[in-house]
Each structure stands twice: as C-alpha cells, then as structure tokens.
Amino acid sequence: MAAELPRIYLKYHQTGRPMAAMEANWAHGTSTGWHSHPRGQLLYAIEGVMSVQLHSGSWLVPPNRGLWIEADAEHDVRMSGDVKMRTAYIDASAFADLPARTCVVNVSPLLRELVVAAVGVPLDYAEGSRDERLMHLLVDELRAAEVLPLHLPLSADARLRQVCEALMREPADTATAEHWAQRLGVSAKTLQRLFVKETGMPFAQWREQARLMFALGRIAAGERIIDIALDCGYASQSAFTAMFKRHFGVPPSGFQR
C-alpha cells in the first residue's frame, strides 16, 4: 500500500483549479518513499537525475527530460546528485489528449520555462488570467512533447524477475538466454516467450535496455563514456556509442548536461 500523501502536498490537489505546481529540493541518495497523487504529475528536475520506480517498471529522468505519471500510480523517486525538482499536478479529466500511461518526455526550452514559471502561479489563479493561459500553454507543450524510450518494464513472474534483477545488478553480464534458461530449469524458447509476454521485449532487447538505463544516469553525472561502456559489457567506447545512437538517434554526449 502506498504511503499517505504528506499533508504539505494536499493543497496542490485540493485547489479548485485543474493545475498546480510546486518546487522541492532533495539531497543526493534520498527518496520520496512510495506514494501516489490523485492528479497526473509532470515530474522535472532543473538539476540532478531522478530514478522513478513503479510496480510495472522503472524510468530514468536525465537532464532536459521529464516524466509524466498518470493519476493514482504508486511510485518512488530516488535522487542521483542533488535534485532541484519542479513538478506540475494536472487534473487529466480537465484536458484532452494527455498521455494515458507513465512515460518520459523531452522537455523543450519553452516547456522548461513554463514549468519553472508555473511554480510561481498562485493556487487560486483567476479564470481568464495570464496565469491560467500560462498553465494551459504548459499543457499544450506537454501534449506536443516527444516520448522517449527510457522505460525498463519489469515482470510479475517470479522466475523472470530473478533474471531481470540479476541483469540490473550486473549490466556487464554476458550470459546467454540459453544459460539463464538452464539455471531456471526451462527451455530457451520458454524463457524467450516469457520475456515477450511479461515485458514486451525479447531477452536481448531487454538486457540492452537495462544497460542503457544503467548508463544514462552515469552519463548525466558526467562520468567518462569509456568507463560506462566497459561497465555495461561493451568491448569499446565506439561499440557502446553505436548502440546508443541506434537507440536514441544521438551519441551519449546528447544526454550530458
């Protein structure tokens, strides 16, 4: 069961307006604890990296990206580096065409400034006012934001969960699907079917995604690409960069500050 929403946040959901925004600063290594919000949430940090865990998977929120979390979704946010969080709560029933599920979005310079400015908008902003127009423009920019593949789906199957957790702990692990199938006492075909059924990805694709998630936090923190590549099981920086560009369309430097 999710922890009760702290009273300090209740006012952002009980306002008579469909949107509200707030700021919060978090120290490196801290977490919010499991909780949920009755409204949708656009989670953004002007500094630091956030790792967000839902029961269905994990998401990484590096610089210049935001996370849309649908209403009532239980989640825990962990901080990498000191995080200056800026977040907007949005009543999705008041606006059409918002994302139906949790996803990472690209934050344009305009969307960034709108989120920052929204923090200063009073909770009881007047209808028809400049403040209301600012909030509605924020929603328009969110609708137009590119969705990014920064999601690592997890499995509810206990056997598959064991494999997933091991690969998340050791992203350089090169054991084949056949090896893991043998350890679990199933055939390689069964393991592959389980991966596709539970995560929507075959084994090799899921492992590559896990490596990307591991790498992104370290890239955003400014670590050397060659060190990250080796820790992800790649023989060279060029091999890692090629995989990264194939996945995201940009080299690792595109996710640095």
Ordered by start, the domain boundaries in the chain are: 7-148, 154-255
Residues 173 and 231 sit within 8 Å (Cβ to Cβ): no
CA distance 220 to 48: 8
Side chain identity at residue 155, one-letter code:
S
pLDDT band at 257 (very low <50, low <70, confident <90, very high): low
What CATH architecture is 154-255?
Orthogonal Bundle (1.10)
Length of the chain as a residue count: 257
CA distance 70 to 90: 9
Residues 105 and 66 sit within 8 Å (Cβ to Cβ): yes
Side chain identity at residue 247, one-letter code:
H
Q: Please tell me which residue, 133 or 81, carries the higher pLDDT value.
A: 133
Neighbour tally for 176: CB within 10 Å: 11
40-54 and 75-90 strand pairing: antiparallel
pLDDT band at 56 (very low <50, low <70, confident <90, very high): confident
Q: What is the pLDDT of residues 90-147, one digit of tens each?
A: 999 999 999 989 999 999 999 999 999 999 999 999 999 999 999 999 999 999 999 9
What CATH architecture is 7-148?
Sandwich (2.60)
What pLDDT is recorded for position 170? 93
Spell out the residues 6+ positions from residue 68 whose beta carbon is closer than 8 angstroms to its own.
40, 41, 42, 43, 98, 99, 102, 103, 105, 142
